[in-house]
Structure 1
Amino acid sequence: MATTSDSAAPTVLVASNRGPVSYQVHEDGSLHAKRGGGGLVSGLSAIGPDAGALWVCSALGDGDREAVRRGVGEPGVRMLDIPADVHSDAYNGIANSVLWFVHHMLYQTPLEPVFDTGFRRRWASYEEYNRAFAAALAEEAADGAVVIVQDYHLCLVPGMLRELRPDLRIGHFSHTPWAPPEYFRMLPDDVRARLVRGMLGADRLGFLTRRWADAFVRCAGEADPEGVAFAGAAEDGRLVVRHSADEGPGAVRETVVGVHGLGADADFLRERAHRADVGERMAVLREEIGAGRRTIVRVDRTELSKNIVRGLLAYRQLLDDRPEWRERVVHVAFAYPSRQDLAVYREYTAEVRRLADEINERYGTPGWTPVLLHVEDDFARSLAAYRLADVALVNPIRDGMNLVAKEVPVVSDEGCVLVLSREAGAFEELGEDAVAVNPYDVVGTARALHEALTLPAGERAERSKRLAATATALPPAKWFLDQLHALQG
């Protein structure tokens, strides 16, 4: 594994389930590295190569594990070869099947969740998984280093790391919503207390919106009433949680809770959206859409919270209620499969396909396909759809932020109207210039689509311009650096 020598111990560390690089084993046995992007990559790049940064992540597949076994690694990356069964239980069994469902409020509560002995086994793996990260970070970090832990996969790491290395400045950032107390309460009492105590090991917690930050603070006071002395706005206006510490009887520590609304990377998106491969895909899409037709675009993973099925139902309702739009509009729907190792996600993806086929069979004509559904992930094609969008439909049931809502206005050639769920984190910033929808209201969403399609071109362009300005106010590098500086301050 790639590590850093004691003489050059890193002063800035990031921990996340997925790292900036992944590996594949070719038929000849050679390893091929594929590098990723995103806000964390941009942020670490922004602090410069001499900052002594290290990214600690998990080996996610056979290629990654083989790379660790061979001692192959990228500079500045330490990949942990956590046993596959432990990772599966922690990642699929707890993070994605429990914590994600709680924070996105996705459970069908008459039947689920069921916290049985199987859950307890998987929870033990989640603890083991988090402990492995905490041990690696404690081993690698320089004295007084800054560590920023990412997301719901690693909620216990701050508390575990605090016990091992009290000298460190520790942050945690949540990319998801945080459940309100009445929903968080469905977790077993010891588990929710453990999650809160784990998070409160951090000096600073970051959330995408004030709504999610407030929800955590409320949960903290309720989940650990004996350990939390105060949770709320302090005299100086900061949002803080004061809680018992291990330094001695009566000792109290303070965890500051802040908000950092991740924005779109305008420079990257605009440059990437005008490359040749995007132009080629635009030509194909234009031919599939047909001349003179308007476009309603959505780009999502087939994640349950994204609400793709109700979006299709709303489009069908639009065609029923407003027959004048038949043959004049096309719904370009990119629904890229996600978490297909979980049965509920496979079933949801199948329902998306079934409903798109039903709409096409019911309304389609020889010259018009009402829904253009694509399920193979293709970033260049997504950018092509962004550029062609007249209307962007973003209607999640619940979403930490939703970067698609911020990216489409940045890239759209003629300006687009954003139809946006009020339950998306992005609504806090973009709602004023979007057409708001209740994500459960299919009829209301159909009306919103009609309103968006009929908005005058001048108003559409002005709204799109304001949306793009707001969406890019905190680009990924600045988003990361703001967190870093807040921890170092």
Structure 2
Amino acid sequence: MACARNDAERALIEERGTTWQAPLIRGETRLHYATPTPEQYEQYYSVISNPVLWFVQHYLWDLAHQPVINGRIHRAWKNGYLEVNKQVARKVVEVARGLPGRPLVMVHDYQLYLVPKLVREQLHGAIIQHFVHIPWPTPQYWKVLPREMRDAILFGLLGSDIVGFQTSLDVRNFLMTCEENAGLAVDEREKAVLVDGRVVYARAYPISIDVAGTTRLSYSHGVMVEERKLRDWRPQHLIVRIDRTDPSKNIIRGFLAYEKLLAHHPELKGRVQFWAFLQPSRQDVAVYRNYVRKVRQTVLRINAQYGAQGWQPIRLELGESVRKAMAAMRNFDALVVNSVYDG
């Protein structure tokens, strides 16, 4: 089940319909589309999901000043987030009712928090699991949102049979949120919540990388080509970071720490370089565009202040190449990962 996100996908649906066979790496699958209008999708994704929910769940708001939950946010919640979740739930119910057995529904992430409850109301016998890929903050931090929004999110998730998280800390925060913000009975030992006469379990399911696939990639011809290119310019000491240009990745503070290193160790001049290979992210959202601008400004300032003929302290590249990223990870002396809350 997917959501039509852009004009290209809408054109594909116009040509093929909302249900068709989609290719996988091995084989194919039956793909079903919900089709919100461009305006609904914009409000759902670029106003509520990002940045409102993403910022709440990564502790990114400057709480003395933000967020400001004004009429625009309330409209985007009602006409975007709520509406798109309803459309996805309707499509799930429509497909599930055509299945021969008891439906198993797996819902993913912060964009679809309302779906489990909406599906449960129409498919009482369904087995529903929701997996939250990002951190779950403390009960108090959720209170930056109006009660109607945070309650809808929490009770939406509690339409599931199991709610999965990345870490045990996220599970504890979720259980505390159910108890403190919603007044629900929680069993800490069983990691369970009692709601509407049902037991909902919270579990930690950390996601791994594909070790075998990553190992094969690291020894591939394409990566070796990138390593040869890297050897042409590699400094004596190479610092690497590979990240999306997301405020939660804390990229600028990494540069400021490196600037402090240069200031305290002038003997490293010309011998070290910080290679930041960054992937542009969510550039349709203003706060993310502004973050890229600030990243560029910081790099320009540090390079102007500490650079010399033939040497730049920071090598900034914006683009996407899994081979180049792997070559970097095979050759660094120091790898910087300093995300605000997760990563």
Q: Normalised by the size of structure 1, how large is the TM-score?
A: 0.65
- Give the match for residue 26 of structure 2: none
Give the C-alpha shift of residue 368 in structure 1: 2.7
| 8 A contact 1:189–1:223 mirrored in 2 | no
| 8 A contact 2:250–2:340 mirrored in 1 | yes
Q: Give the Cα–Cα distance (whole angstroms) in 2 for the partners of residues 180 and 210 of structure 1.
A: 13
Aligned residues: 330
Amino acid at match of 1:253: R
Please, which of 386, 390, 396 is the counterpart of residue 339 of structure 2? 396
Structure 1 segment 409-424 matched on structure 2, within 5 A: none
| 8 A contact 1:103–1:177 mirrored in 2 | yes
Q: Give the Cα–Cα distance (whole angstroms) in 1 for the partners of residues 169 and 44 of structure 2.
A: 27
Structure 1 segment 68-79 matched on structure 2, within 5 A: 68-71=13-16, 73=20, 74=22, 75-79=29-33
- Give the match for residue 312 of structure 2: 369
Q: Give the Cα–Cα distance (whole angstroms) in 1 for the partners of residues 323 and 10 of structure 2.
A: 30
- Give the match for residue 122 of structure 1: 76
Comparing 309-318 with 275-284, which one deviates more in the overlay? 275-284
Amino acid at match of 2:233: E
Gaps of 5+ in 1: 1-55, 245-251, 403-489
Structure 1 segment 393-472 matched on structure 2, within 5 A: 393-399=336-342, 402=343
Structure 1 segment 13-412 matched on structure 2, within 5 A: 56-71=1-16, 73=20, 74=22, 75-124=29-78, 125-141=80-96, 142=99, 143-225=101-183, 228=184, 230-233=185-188, 237-244=189-196, 252-290=197-235, 293-399=236-342, 402=343
Q: Give the Cα–Cα distance (whole angstroms) in 2 for the partners of residues 285 and 363 of structure 1.
A: 23
Q: Give the Cα–Cα distance (whole angstroms) in 1 for the partners of residues 338 and 12 of structure 2.
A: 40
User: What's the CA shift string for 1:258-297, capped at 9, x where partnerless?
Assistant: 001111111111212222222222222222223xx12111
Gaps of 5+ in 2: 23-28
Give the C-alpha shift of residue 343 in structure 1: 1.9
Give the C-alpha shift of residue 63 in structure 1: 1.2
Amino acid at match of 2:208: G
| 8 A contact 2:50–2:285 mirrored in 1 | no
Q: Give the Cα–Cα distance (whole angstroms) in 2 for the partners of residues 350 and 93 of structure 1.
A: 20
Comparing 302-311 with 352-361, which one deviates more in the overlay? 352-361
- Give the match for residue 31 of structure 1: none
Give the C-alpha shift of residue 355 in structure 1: 1.4
- Give the match for residue 487 of structure 1: none
Q: SS of the residue aligned with 1:332?
A: strand
Q: SS of the residue aligned with 1:341?
A: coil
| 8 A contact 1:68–1:80 mirrored in 2 | no
Give the C-alpha shift of residue 128 in structure 1: 0.9
User: What's the CA shift string for 1:394-449, capped at 9, x where partnerless?
Assistant: 001112xx3xxxxxxxxxxxxxxxxxxxxxxxxxxxxxxxxxxxxxxxxxxxxxxx
Q: SS of the residue aligned with 1:255?
A: strand
Give the C-alpha shift of residue 109 in structure 1: 2.0
Q: Give the Cα–Cα distance (whole angstroms) in 1 for the partners of residues 216 and 254 of structure 2.
A: 30
| 8 A contact 2:243–2:278 mirrored in 1 | yes
Give the C-alpha shift of residue 238 in structure 1: 2.1
Give the C-alpha shift of residue 357 in structure 1: 1.9
Give the C-alpha shift of residue 151 in structure 1: 0.2
Amino acid at match of 1:104: H
Percent of matched pairs sharing the same residue: 33
Q: Normalised by the size of structure 2, how large is the TM-score?
A: 0.92
Q: SS of the residue aligned with 1:60?
A: coil
Q: Give the Cα–Cα distance (whole angstroms) in 2 for the partners of residues 355 and 267 of structure 1.
A: 38
Q: SS of the residue aligned with 2:336?
A: strand
User: What's the CA shift string for 1:127-156, capped at 9, x where partnerless?
Assistant: 111111111111112331211100000000
